[in-house]
Structure 1
Amino acid sequence: MITVEALTKSYGGTVAVDNVTFKAEPGRVTGFLGPNGAGKSTCMRMMTGLTPPTSGHATILGKKYDELTNPGRHVGVLLDASAQHAGRTGREVLTLGAKTMGLGTDRVDEILDVVGLTPPEAKRRVGDYSLGMRQRLGIGHALLGDPEVLILDEPANGLDPAGIRWMRGLLRSYAERGGTVLLSSHLLHEVEQIADDLVMIGRGRIVRQGTKQELLRGAGTNAHSTDDAALASALQAANIPVQRTQTGIHTPAEPIEVGKIAAANGIVLVQLGQAGGAGLEEMFLNLTAADSREVAR
């Protein structure tokens, strides 16, 4: 388990992380989501003892990271795949990690197989690796000590679609065996298919958190009827916000509420359901828009 309580980090007069509190539970994948610059990486660096917090604290398995004995055997960390030693081979990187943790070299062979790095690739220098290969190596290093907790910052960067699918399957099976996974990303759709819980951060503050199902319910409803203009008017008359879409309407109201209003006004519904992933992504973008570096054109 990871427990983060009132974690805050200030640099001079700038507050990079502001009173962040959440938990990542065993047997579940927690998606830590926010735009670039929202404070995700700073939070993870504080969790793993690399950056001292201004206030608050984070514990992993009930202890601060620097209180763990042989931490690599308990917590697997990937914060920056590009930070690996470019002059060493992939096998050398893992072998040094294994020796540091008191593991045998047979574990290195196991991990190379798990992450899909072939023997010839393992003999190449990391400086010659693609970003996707570095990510696989970094994930392998995090898994090396067979830890109970994984903390991964943007692990999908550089992976092709097949690699992303592989990563999702790997982390899903890890959680199903009782492991705790904290996975950061600035793109919701990368983690939506794997995450059980979501923590959304913007400008260093938590803006929404909960299970994926809870947040999907809050993503609103999509509806399409034989007369969408009449349905929109009926909903607005009931003080329910409405947004017209290419395929009908979107509203923050629950499906049952939309259905009742349609029935009361004699409007035939063709489609009615929770907004799902698209609505969740719209919510995510709206909640974090003020912190996004992307400019609408």
Structure 2
Amino acid sequence: MIEVKNLTKRYGDFVAVDDVSFTCKPGRVTGFLGPNGAGKSTTMRIIAGLTPAGSGSATINGVAYRDIPNPATHVGVLLDASAQHAGRTGAEILRLSATTLGVPASRVDDALAMVSLTPQEAGRRVRNYSLGMRQRLGIANALLGDPSVLMLDEPANGLDPAGIHWMRTLLRGYADRGGAVLLSSHLLHEIEIIADDLVVIGNGRIVAEGTKEELLAGTGSVVRAVDNNYLGQSLHAAGVAAHPVDGGGFRVEATPDVVGRIALDAQVHLVELRGGDGARLEEMFLQLTQQNQREQPQGVQ
């Protein structure tokens, strides 16, 4: 479990992280969301012991990272997939890590299999890897010590749709076996699919935290009709806010039963009516962070 309590980090007069508190629990995937420069990476670097906190605390299973004996056997970390020795092969990097951690050499083959890197790919030098392959290698390194906690910053960068599906399945299975996963990503749809809990940060402060169901509840409906113009007029006449969506139809700030009654009374022929699942996380994210967007100071995220 990861526990962050009243964490603050300043760079001169600039407050990168401002009194941040949240928990990442075992058996659950926690999505860590926020615009660029919101403080996500700084928070994760503090948790991983790479950046000192100004005040507050960040612990993993009750212990600060720097105080964990052989920490990579307790927490697997991937913050930057490009930070790997380009002149070594993927297998060499994992073998060196296994030696450093004191884990059996057999874990290298196990980790490569978990991330679907073939022996041929593992034998290539990292300079010849695509970004997606570097992500897989970085995740393999994070899993090498069989940790109980995983912390990944933008692990889907460079992955194709099949790779993103693979990663989603891997992390879901890891959490279902009791692991705690802290996952930062700008791919909101993927976070919505995989996450159990959400933590949203903006301008260095937590702006929302809770289960996915709690935070996304009551965010409206998606509706389409044979005559979308008439549907829009009917919703407006009923005093219900409706926002056009790509492909026709509306995202409506009302529940499906309310929208259905309005359509029935107006004799509008509907072709789709559902809860606003498809756009819910994006809508919530934009609403929560629109006042917290900021330019990112150089060297700080």
**What TM-score does the superposition give when structure 1 sets the normalisation length?**
0.89
Q: Which residue number in structure 2 is paired with residue 44 of structure 1?
A: 44
Kindly indicate whether the alpha-carbon contact (under 8 Å) linking 2:231 and 2:268 is maintained by their aligned counterparts in 1: no
Equivalent position amino acid for 2:125 in 1: R
CA shift for structure 1 position 196 = 1.2
Q: Which residue number in structure 1 is paired with residue 176 of structure 2?
A: 176
Equivalent position amino acid for 1:47 in 2: I
What is the number of residues matched between the two proteins?
Answer: 290
**Aligned pair 1:231/2:234, yes or no?**
yes
The verdict on how the C-alpha distance between 1:126 and 1:76 changes in structure 2, with shifts beyond 3 A counting, is: same
Q: Distance in 2 between matches of 1:249 and 1:261?
A: 14
Q: Secondary structure at the match of 1:59?
A: strand
Q: Which residue number in structure 2 is paired with residue 11 of structure 1?
A: 11
Q: Secondary structure at the match of 1:83?
A: coil
CA shift for structure 1 position 165 = 1.1
Q: Which residue number in structure 2 is paired with residue 283 of structure 1?
A: 284
CA shift for structure 1 position 242 = 3.5
Q: Which residue number in structure 2 is paired with residue 250 of structure 1?
A: 251
Equivalent position amino acid for 1:291 in 2: Q
Kindly indicate whether the alpha-carbon contact (under 8 Å) linking 1:201 and 1:207 is maintained by their aligned counterparts in 2: yes
**C-alpha distance after superposition, 1:151-177 (max 9, x if no partner):** 000001111111111111111111110
Q: Distance in 2 between matches of 1:77 and 1:48?
A: 7
Q: Secondary structure at the match of 2:279?
A: helix
Q: Distance in 2 between matches of 1:198 and 1:229?
A: 32
**C-alpha distance after superposition, 1:89-120 (max 9, x if no partner):** 21121111111211111111111122122222
The verdict on how the C-alpha distance between 1:14 and 1:39 changes in structure 2, with shifts beyond 3 A counting, is: same
Q: Distance in 2 between matches of 1:92 and 1:170?
A: 23
Equivalent position amino acid for 1:115 in 2: V
CA shift for structure 1 position 66 = 1.4
Q: Percent identity?
A: 61
Q: Secondary structure at the match of 1:232?
A: helix
Q: Distance in 1 between matches of 2:288 and 2:167?
A: 27
Q: Distance in 2 between matches of 1:116 and 1:250?
A: 39
Map 1:1-297 onto structure 2 (within 5 A).
Answer: 1-224=1-224, 227-236=230-239, 240-245=240-245, 247-259=248-260, 270=270, 271-289=272-290, 290-291=292-293
Equivalent position amino acid for 1:233 in 2: H
Equivalent position amino acid for 2:34 in 1: G
The verdict on how the C-alpha distance between 1:244 and 1:232 changes in structure 2, with shifts beyond 3 A counting, is: farther
The verdict on how the C-alpha distance between 1:269 and 1:10 changes in structure 2, with shifts beyond 3 A counting, is: farther
Equivalent position amino acid for 2:162 in 1: A
Equivalent position amino acid for 2:114 in 1: V
The verdict on how the C-alpha distance between 1:259 and 1:120 changes in structure 2, with shifts beyond 3 A counting, is: closer
Unaligned runs of 5+ in 2: 297-301
Kindly indicate whether the alpha-carbon contact (under 8 Å) linking 2:4 and 2:58 is maintained by their aligned counterparts in 1: yes
**Which moved further from structure 2: 52-61 or 119-128?**
119-128
Kindly indicate whether the alpha-carbon contact (under 8 Å) linking 1:200 and 1:207 is maintained by their aligned counterparts in 2: yes
Q: Secondary structure at the match of 1:164?
A: helix
CA shift for structure 1 position 286 = 3.3
Q: Distance in 2 between matches of 1:163 and 1:244?
A: 32
Q: Secondary structure at the match of 2:82?
A: helix
The verdict on how the C-alpha distance between 1:235 and 1:17 changes in structure 2, with shifts beyond 3 A counting, is: farther
**Which moved further from structure 2: 115-124 or 27-36?**
115-124
CA shift for structure 1 position 275 = 0.8
**Which moved further from structure 2: 219-228 or 65-74?**
219-228
The verdict on how the C-alpha distance between 1:191 and 1:167 changes in structure 2, with shifts beyond 3 A counting, is: same
Kindly indicate whether the alpha-carbon contact (under 8 Å) linking 1:235 and 1:258 is maintained by their aligned counterparts in 2: no
Q: Distance in 1 between matches of 2:249 and 2:32?
A: 31
**What TM-score does the superposition give when structure 2 sets the normalisation length?**
0.88
Q: Secondary structure at the match of 2:194?
A: coil
The verdict on how the C-alpha distance between 1:207 and 1:117 changes in structure 2, with shifts beyond 3 A counting, is: same
**Which moved further from structure 2: 222-231 or 61-70?**
222-231
The verdict on how the C-alpha distance between 1:235 and 1:59 changes in structure 2, with shifts beyond 3 A counting, is: farther
**C-alpha distance after superposition, 1:170-215 (max 9, x if no partner):** 1111111011011101221232221111212222222222222223
Unaligned runs of 5+ in 1: none
Q: Distance in 2 between matches of 1:150 and 1:38?
A: 21
Q: Secondary structure at the match of 1:86?
A: coil
Q: Distance in 2 between matches of 1:101 and 1:284?
A: 39
**C-alpha distance after superposition, 1:216-270 (max 9, x if no partner):** 324322234674245323442xxx543344643333333344456666x565573
